[in-house]
Amino acid sequence: MSSPLDRLKSLTNKISSYETARKENLKILQKLYKVLEINKKVKEFKDLFEFKAINLSGASLLAESLGEIKEGKYLQILAISYDKNATKKSTNVSLAYFGKAQNVNVQIKDMVVEFIVRYRFEKSFMTLENYYDMIREFEVDG
């Protein structure tokens, strides 16, 4: 069994590697945001994270079939906006449309899939930070 110091070192290394991966992920995500011309629909990169989620139609996001084309579907990046005061609470917004999935250049399709996965990676960190801040509200002083 490892000592508490060894476990602490291991945890510190893991956290450090996640933070490094996150910074690199954001750089690549911002490049893809421009290359895929999502900046035409969402003017500021930071505003991407105001969406509840970003999904993909036309290709798989499952680990076992990542990027696999869905025949007869259109390749499209869809964002889900949420307004709790509206009659219809959530709305799909097309951020980018690429045509019939089977006709899209493989490099473009791969960049689209990568964009979605990288977006979700960053969004998961943001969610984690949000819940971390929320649980701090339960901490008892003293």
pLDDT single digits (tens) 40-85: 999 999 999 999 999 999 999 999 999 999 989 999 999 998 877 7
* Nearest Cα residue to 104 out of 40, 58, 41: 58
Look up the pTM and report it: 0.83
Q: What is the per-residue pLDDT for 15?
A: 77
The DSSP bridge partners found for residue 25 are none
Res 142 pLDDT > 50? no
Output the DSSP codes for 61-80: -SGGGTT-B-TT-EEEEEEE
Q: Which run of H or E residues covers position 50?
A: none
Q: What is the per-residue pLDDT for 34?
A: 97
